Amino acid sequence: MASLKSPPERERHDEPGPMVPEPFVVRSKRQDTSDTWTLELTSVADDAGLHFAPGQFTMIEAGGSGEVPISISGDPGEPDVLVHTVRSVGLATQAICKAQPGQVLGVRGPFGNSWPVELLEGRDVVVAAGGIGLAPLRPAILAMIANRERYGRLVLLYGARTASQMLYVDELERWREEGFEVHATVDSAGPEWLGHVGVVTRLIGRARLTASFAGLTCGPEIMMRLTALALADFGIDGEQLYVSTERNMQCGIGHCGHCQLGPWLLCRDGPVFDWQTLAHWLQLRDV
Amino acid sequence: MAELASCTLEREAFDSLFEALERRGYGVIGPRVRDGAIVYDRIAASSDLPVGLTDEQDGGHYRLVPREDAALFGYNVGPHSWKRFQLPAQRTLWRGKLDEDGNLSDIVEGPAEPERLAFLGARSCELHAMGILDRVLLGGSHPDPAERAAREGVFIVAVQCSQAGGTCFCASMGTGPTAQSGFDIALTEVIEDGRHYFVTAPGSDAGRELLAELPTSAAGAAEEGAASAAHARAAAQMGRELDITDIRELLYRNYDHPRWNEVAERCLTCGNCTMVCPTCFCTSVEDVTDLERTSVERVQRWDSCFTIDYSHIHGGAVRQSAHSRYRQWMTHKLATWIDQFGSSGCVGCGRCITWCPVGIDITEEARAIRASEEAVHAGAR
Ligand SMILES: Cc1cc2nc3c(=O)[nH]c(=O)nc-3n(C[C@H](O)[C@H](O)[C@H](O)COP(=O)(O)OP(=O)(O)OC[C@H]3O[C@@H](n4cnc5c(N)ncnc54)[C@H](O)[C@@H]3O)c2cc1C
Ligand code: SF4
Ligand code: SF4
């Protein structure tokens, strides 16, 4: 604006722009399922991870293959390492999943808002996750376990397509020991699976939920919609249910326009919203 | 804001403005003719301006025609806007090196435009558009320092419209035709009784200082009156209007309106409207690597919500149909923008109407939706 600019010397800027990535090195890598890997990374500059809140994401890339939004799946209490769980579905995620320990990737962030874990202190909380949707919820689960005494009942409902597609299998048992009621289900089961079979919303009936619960959910949009409907039957209404949403994102900072959903820029105003706020917009077609 | 002490500058002395800007080290960008249209590009003297030309505009129609006088600014806005200097159509965000193991290193930010620019000939709607784009790009929690530096160095010479263009509706949007602020200097061109001059007004200290170096004289009542008459003429000529009363609520109520299907039958989803719009800010990024994959460059380009890829997520685009894409664009301009950035995203410049190959008119689409609601209400009464 006119008032901003005398003297007319061009201002030097030394801070790098928000679109410039920081190099992070892959410290370790673990294969979770046939198409999903978990990477641990640290910044090349200071050998640390990122301070973040559960539910936030970064824009990450393996050089030259495109940058994509990926939720941080690590423990917010241990920001010394940046953890991402990535499902290989296309060019960018494939390149990230192929990265080997020692490889340097580009990272920007963390961006977005977070799961309201502090707001929910004192409450019963049900976490409903579908497939890769457990990755963005893991930091919230770990944050609640770290402060287990501040919550009432904690329930995790997790659904995957098959038993071999389940994430964090070893951890599910540990979370159970640490105070989560864990219910898992698969869409289709082989002989090795002894648990529930059926979509994740079918677990809701088994979990003895009451209106005192609040919910966190992440998974395919249809699953989140059905979860909202099923929870409503137990008196858990849309204002008490939080969802993490997914849209195309090219910047993560509200500048590229791609992640619009009606009045929101999901990267800037989300990705976490209460269901009540989004339900109208998600029910309209092709918005 | 500075008080508007107006002066006059004769046409013969107009190039002193270029000289003063040059002395201060500004590169001057202004209107000039290229390929049959008035675009914004480098200019060095008044002879580079579209002297004696005007632009005939209507839905899907644009043509330059000679005027009867030798006005320097006797036209309205063309296919370019100042957006291209706030948010370049293409820019390198950064470059880096890749080794054979895929390691990314030596990341350096893309070069920023090193030059200070002066925008000569910005119209009232365009000043509003710049402000809207500033709020989008610089008003959030992650402003881009390169974009901010580019913007803060700009010197703005506004030109007051003395006629309305064929597709203008800035009066409806409250963005014109007369600029009140947001400029360093404002000019009103007057050609009357064999005299050709400009009534000048400073809008900032920098503008006042620069004007003091020009061979101006104090404006008398007659000259100020001529300038006001020119402003009034533009307002009176405005042929289109868009009723913005409760426009957000109107569009929010009508996501399922059949009109979206009707407009989609005509819309080619070419994205012209988004390219010419002075506030449309969407971009996408692409990685360009050399053949050996030893280097990578991230390039940001203007994108359009009319492409299928725009809303691509794994599993398919969110907005497959033309109707959902036109609806996205128009409701963004007029409604969701208000929630996202605190103002309308449309300044009524008319570019999207002129440059739409099939002449789709945002004012007509909004009117049709409003009229059908009113008809329903009237019927219900
Ligand atoms: C906030 C957020 C958090 C996410 N967290 C995770 C996570 O923790 N783990 C995980 O595996 N995946 C996550 N995703 C999904 C992940 O971003 C997509 O799978 C990824 O973008 C696909 O890119 P691609 O190039 O591999 O696939 P392609 O289908 O080849 O995609 C091409 C381009 O389209 C865009 N795109 C495609 N799908 C998506 C999508 N779903 N979301 C956004 N942009 C997309 C990208 O710009 C991508 O470069 C998250 C998405 C969002 C929005
Ligand atoms: S929507 Fe059309 S009239 Fe409004 S600012 Fe954009 S181009 Fe101009
Ligand atoms: S409205 Fe017109 S300019 Fe815009 S995409 Fe459709 S056909 Fe192209």
Amino acid A145: pLDDT: 97
Is the pLDDT at A15 greater than 80? The verdict is no
High-pLDDT (> 70) share of chain A, %: 95
Residue of A nearest to B128 (CA): A1
Protein residue whose Cα sits closest to atom 20 of ligand 1: A68
Kindly state the tokens that stand for B171.
């009066």
- The residues lining ligand 1, judged by C-beta closer than 6 Å to any ligand atom, are A 57, 66, 68-71, 73, 85-87, 89-94, 132, 135-136, 246-249, 271; B 312-314
For A235, how many CA atoms within 13 A lie in the half-sphere containing its CB? 6
pLDDT the model gives residue A2: 38
Q: What is the pLDDT of residue B380?
A: 59
Token pair in block for residue A36: 């999903």
Structural domain spans, chain A? 22-111, 124-244
Place A5 in a pLDDT band, splitting at 50, 70 and 90: very low
Burial class (CB in 10 A: 0-12, 13-18, 19+), B228: middle
Q: Which residues of chain B have pLDDT under 70?
A: 1-4, 379-381
Cross-chain residue pair B136–A250, CB shorter than 8 Å: no
Question: A128 by DSSP, 3-state: which?
Answer: strand
Nearest CA to ligand 3 atom 4: B273
Give the residue, by CA position, lying nearest to ligand 1 atom 6: A70
Starting at the earlier edge strand, list the strands of the sheet with A272-274: A196-197, A180-186, A154-160, A124-130, A213-218, A241-244, A272-274
**The pLDDT of residue B155:** 97
Q: List alpha helices for chain B, DSSP H.
A: 15-23, 83-86, 124-138, 145-152, 170-173, 205-212, 221-237, 247-253, 259-266, 272-276, 322-331, 337-341, 351-354, 362-380
Give CA–CA dist B18/B155, Å, rounded.
Answer: 12
Alpha-carbon span A88 to A78, nearest angstrom: 26
Q: Do A257 and B305 touch (CB under 8 A)?
A: yes
- Report yes or no: B12 and B47 within 8 Å, Cβ to Cβ: no
The DSSP H or E segment spanning A91 is helix A91-98
Structure-model confidence comparison of residues A286 and B334, the more confident one:
B334
Task: Tell me the chain A residues in contact with residue B294 when contact means C-beta distances shorter than 8 Å.
Answer: none
Query: In B, residues 173-212, which contact A (CB 8 Å cutoff)?
Result: 181-184, 203-207
Q: In B, which residues are within 8 Å of A13 by CB distance?
A: 112, 145-146, 148-149
pLDDT at B286: 94
d(C-alpha A80, C-alpha A42), whole Å: 7
Contacts of A287 in chain B (CB under 8 A): 255, 318-319, 324, 328
CATH of domain A22-111: 2.40.30.10
Task: Give the residue extent of every domain in chain B.
Answer: 7-236, 247-380
User: Rounded CA gap, A106 and B37, in Å?
Assistant: 43
Q: Please answer whether residues B352 and B345 qualify as being in contact, where contact means their C-beta atoms are separated by less than 8 angstroms.
A: no
Ligand 3 midpoint to CA B355 (Å): 8
Residues of B in contact with A18 (CB under 8 A): 142-144
User: What is the pLDDT at residue A3?
Assistant: 38
B172 within ligand 2 shell (Cβ under 6 A): no
Average pLDDT for residues A38-51, to the nearest whole number? 95
pLDDT of residue A8: 40
Given strand A36-43, what is the order of strands in its sheet? A67-71, A57-61, A104-111, A22-33, A36-43, A82-87
Say how far apart CA A133 and CA A246 lie, in whole Å. 10
Pocket flag, ligand 2, residue B348 (CB < 6 Å):
yes
Query: How does pLDDT run across A134-190, given as a tens digit for each residue?
Result: 999 999 999 999 999 999 999 999 999 998 999 999 999 999 999 999 999 998 888
Q: Take atom 2 of ligand 3 and give the residue whose Cα is closest.
A: B356
Residue A7 has pLDDT above 60, yes or no: no
| Closest to A115 measured CA to CA, from A130, A137, A131, A98 | A137
CATH domain A124-244 topology: Rossmann fold (3.40.50)
Helix locations, B70-220, DSSP H: 83-86, 124-138, 145-152, 170-173, 205-212
Residue A14: predicted pLDDT: 60
Cα–Cα–Cα angle for B105, B281, B127, rounded to 5 degrees = 125
pTM score of the predicted model: 0.93
Which residue, A220, A219, A187, is CA-closest to A202? A187
How confident is the model at residue B91, as a pLDDT?
A: 93
Give the residues across from B122 on adjacent strands.
B158
Distance B156 CA to ligand 2 centre (A): 21
Q: Tell me if B2 sits within 8 A of B203, measured CB to CB.
A: yes
Q: What is the model's pLDDT at position A9?
A: 43
**Is the CB of B211 inside a 6 Å radius of any atom of ligand 2?**
no
- Exposed/middle/buried for residue A114 (C-beta within 10 Å: 0-12, 13-18, 19+): buried
| Exposed/middle/buried for residue B263 (C-beta within 10 Å: 0-12, 13-18, 19+) | buried
CA distance A243 to chain B (A): 18
DSSP-assigned letters across all residues of A71-90: EB-S-TT-TTSEEEEEE--S
d(CA A187, CA B203): 67
* Cβ-based contacts of A104 with chain B (< 8 Å): 103-105
Per-residue pLDDT tens for B330-345? 999 999 999 999 999 9
How many cross-chain Cβ pairs, A to B, lie less than 8 Å apart?
A: 186
What is the pLDDT at residue A6? 37
